[in-house]
Amino acid sequence: MTAPPETAVQTVDLHKTYSGPKGDVEAVRGIDLDVRRGEFFGLLGPNGAGKSTTIGMLTTLVRPTSGEARVCGFDVTRDAVEVKRRIGMVSQNNTLDSELTAAENLEFRGRFFGLGARAAKRRADELLELFGLADRRDGNPFELSGGQAKRLMIGRALVHRPEVLFLDEPTAGLDPQNRVNLWDLLRELQKQGQTIVLTTHYMEEAEVLCDRLAVVDHGRVLARGTAAELKDSAGADTVLTVSYDGDVPADLSKLSERAGISKVEVNGGQIRVFSTAPEGLLGELVGAGAAAGVNVTDASQLRPSLETVFLSLTGRDYRD
């Protein structure tokens, strides 16, 4: 596999199977990715979709079972050290070194990557200032708030000016204010040309931050593109879901033949209609139920979003 120079990350048919006492678990089942330099790329999917395993393989910490992955042109298995020289990684957990102060965490990261002692100290001070942590420089990293610890971890990942920054669920567990602050920080980094690959299960986060996305579920990429392209590909502006206390009226299955309706899914007493012309449709669904002698027990209307895309791709709610 040879990647063009503008490609930062490329994977081909990447697989990971974990073997355990209860049998094999296929965490990643053939993922193909292509991230360009300077791009903000997101892997979006629910928990357990295989996002973290994919990031783990790209950052050399998880060994692929098969397939190929290259970061900055280097194979993640054969040239792991070259890959590590070029990447920064922010894990989901707080992996800061509890034996060192906040400043020392940055300083030693710099030294691991070849900076001299003085240069590493200067770089640490510079990053603490940039990330608003100068007053916590001598504190233990486990005494920092969640947002501060995450900022320190991002600072640590940037010490050696990596070509690609990987972030695994960076805002998980943060309060809304810290989440927005972190978004601002990540946007600034991208403006300066930083290539960023992020995993998230927050749809809003993916939509707000990422230039392009891959929607992942059960270890496979279901769709990829910009948020707008993904919404278009779903073929629906709106998803209407109505539940009845009996079977869905038989006539309603014919809705799929109507112009403006791209898909109709019937599952027992629930109908889901994907439509580009939803006006009056909800009333029609309620009326059809009344005519067939069943009552509506629940109804929802989702405006076009990545959630409707996920629904369209998988046929199930995002948080199932």
Using CB under 8 A, list all residues that contact other proteins.
Answer: 18, 38, 56, 59-63, 80-82, 84-87, 89, 91, 93-100, 104, 108-109, 111-115, 117, 119, 123, 129-132, 151, 156, 158, 160-163, 181, 184-185, 188-189, 192-195
Smallest gap from Cβ 249 to other proteins, in A, equals: 51
Of 107 and 205, nearer to other proteins (C-beta) is: 107
Smallest gap from Cβ 99 to other proteins, in A, equals: 4
Query: Residue 85: exposed, middle, or buried by beta-carbon count in 10 A (0-12, 13-18, 19+)?
Result: middle
Of 176 and 193, nearer to other proteins (C-beta) is: 193
Of 86 and 272, nearer to other proteins (C-beta) is: 86
Distance CA 34, CA 37 (A): 10
Of 111 and 224, nearer to other proteins (C-beta) is: 111
R_g of the chain, CA atoms, integer Å? 23
Smallest gap from Cβ 180 to other proteins, in A, equals: 11
- Name residue 49's beta-bridge partners: none
Smallest gap from Cβ 75 to other proteins, in A, equals: 14
Of 114 and 293, nearer to other proteins (C-beta) is: 114
Of 33 and 159, nearer to other proteins (C-beta) is: 159
Q: Give the N- to C-terminal CA distance of the chain in Å, as an integer.
A: 37
Helix axes 146-158, 117-130, angle to 10 degrees: 140
Which residue stretches of the chain are H helix? 51-58, 80-86, 102-112, 117-130, 146-158, 176-191, 203-209, 227-233, 281-292, 306-314
What is the torsional sign of CA 132, 136, 142, 143?
negative
Smallest gap from Cβ 177 to other proteins, in A, equals: 11
Smallest gap from Cβ 204 to other proteins, in A, equals: 20
Are 174 and 149 in contact by the 8 Å Cβ rule? The answer is: no
Smallest gap from Cβ 203 to other proteins, in A, equals: 25
Beta strand pairing status for 212-217 and 40-44?
parallel
Six token digits for residue 318? 């995002």
Of 136 and 224, nearer to other proteins (C-beta) is: 136
